[in-house]
Amino acid sequence: MSQSEVREEHPIAEPFPIAPGVYAMRGTRGANVGAVVTDEGIILIDTPLIPQEAWKWRDFLQEVSGGKPFLYIINTDHHRGHIVGNMWFDCPVIAHHIAWRYMRGYRDNFKQRVRQLFKKQPEIQAHLQDIRIILPEITFQEKFAVFKGGRQVRVIHVGGHTPATSIVYVPDAKVVFAGDLISLGEHPFMTQATSKAWLDGLTLIRRLHPEVVVPGHGDVGGPEITEPISKYLRYIRSHVRSHLKAGHSKVDTANALAPELLPWFGIPKYRRPKITQQIKQGIGKVYVELEQEMRQKGELPPREEKSASKEEK
Ligand SMILES: [Zn+2]
């Protein structure tokens, strides 16, 4: 879909309720966002990338909560689609300590790339001239819970999509915000991925028995929306494993598997070259991860000189 098509179809995202006092909004360019309204105030899960959507979200939540304050923002990872909108909400940010480490390094080139996304939408770009990166004030390593206004919001580090990726669980509403562990209808972004942790994270979501699962991208659903990405990751792992056993290099493995994976999701023709590159990167990540895993288990012989020529390829 081109940017103008996105604009025509979704002039601006619409907030909607997903459970009592829990809301979501589907990001048109950034990630989906969520909010839990408590008697004491509002806890936000990620923030909209597009300023107009952030303001709409802010106004909507003010209205449905009867003007309650924003208490915290929980960022599920450090990618721009989740964190740039932090600047439009006046409250502390909470994120995994690795997310903080990445965000701390965001400089002018990061901000420039964000502006570039909207080069054909000057009405959006105009509001991104002065991007302020609001760093997490509170970080965590494994998990924590926030108790506010009679509700509990649990945050659990899972990794997988990035080393920082965390999910948010609202037990009284049986809602899980999955962050980018789930991106429906598109190839997952795996540049910083660990497939084993990713699969474990998806299993954890199913074990929480949520009624509603909010993906990082795509439509809200139930626990079944964890399945396509589980299947995708298991497919990559089992095929990369076979290629490793056969002694194929990382590049050969990526070249062999990428064409098989490309048709898994409907992709417009003009995006195929870029997505193919993205898929190959993902396969490469899994290759390195599995190679290590298999060596540790003795399924592959220890590293020898042969690996040097592999890297040159
Ligand atoms: Zn992400």
pLDDT digits (tens, 9 = 90+) for 212-256: 999 999 999 999 999 999 999 999 999 999 999 999 999 999 999
66: left (phi over 0), alpha (psi -120 to 50) or beta: left
What is the reported pLDDT for 302? 81
Average pLDDT over residues 287-307: 85
Beta bridge partners of 107: none
Residue 11 has pLDDT above 70, yes or no: no
Q: Name the percent of the chain lying above pLDDT 70.
A: 93
Are 225 and 182 contacting, i.e. CB atoms less than 8 angstroms apart? yes
Q: Name the percent of the chain lying above pLDDT 90.
A: 88
Distance from residue 206's CA to the centre of ligand 1 (Å): 20
Residue 4 has pLDDT above 70, yes or no: no
Distance from residue 74's CA to the centre of ligand 1 (Å): 14
Distance from residue 234's CA to the centre of ligand 1 (Å): 20
Helix (H) or strand (E) run with residue 109 in it: helix 108-116
Distance from residue 282's CA to the centre of ligand 1 (Å): 14
Helix (H) or strand (E) run with residue 83 in it: helix 80-83
What is the reported pLDDT for 305? 55
Distance from residue 180's CA to the centre of ligand 1 (Å): 5
Kindly indicate the confidence band of residue 9, based on its pLDDT and cuts at 50, 70 and 90.
very low
Distance from residue 209's CA to the centre of ligand 1 (Å): 23
pLDDT digits (tens, 9 = 90+) for 65-111: 999 999 999 999 999 999 999 999 999 999 999 999 999 999 999 99
Kindly indicate the confidence band of residue 3, based on its pLDDT and cuts at 50, 70 and 90.
very low
d(CA 210, CA 218): 17
CATH number for the domain whose boundaries are 3-173: 3.60.15.10
Are 111 and 129 contacting, i.e. CB atoms less than 8 angstroms apart? no
What is the reported pLDDT for 276? 95
Cα dihedral sign, 163-193-23-60 = positive
What is the reported pLDDT for 304? 67
Classify residue 313 by burial, with Cβ atoms within 10 Å: 0-12, 13-18, 19+.
exposed
Please provide the average confidence, as pLDDT, over all residues in the chain: 93
Each domain of the chain, given as residue ranges in start order, spans: 3-173, 231-312
Distances from the Cα of 163 to the Cα of 53, 141, 157, 207, angstroms: 28, 11, 9, 21
What is the reported pLDDT for 201? 98
Q: Are strands 175-183 and 166-170 parallel, antiparallel or unpaired?
A: antiparallel
Distance from residue 79's CA to the centre of ligand 1 (Å): 5
Residue 307 has pLDDT above 60, yes or no: no
All residues at 6 or more sequence positions from 292 whose CB lies less than 8 Å from its CB, including other chains: none
What is the reported pLDDT for 28? 81
What is the reported pLDDT for 7? 41
Q: Per-residue DSSP letters for 176-228? A: EEEEEEEETTS----TT--HHHHHHHHHHHHHT--SEEEEEES--B-GGGGHH
Kindly indicate the confidence band of residue 27, based on its pLDDT and cuts at 50, 70 and 90.
confident
CA end-to-end distance (rounded Å), the chain? 34
pLDDT digits (tens, 9 = 90+) for 157-189: 999 999 999 999 999 999 999 999 999 999 999
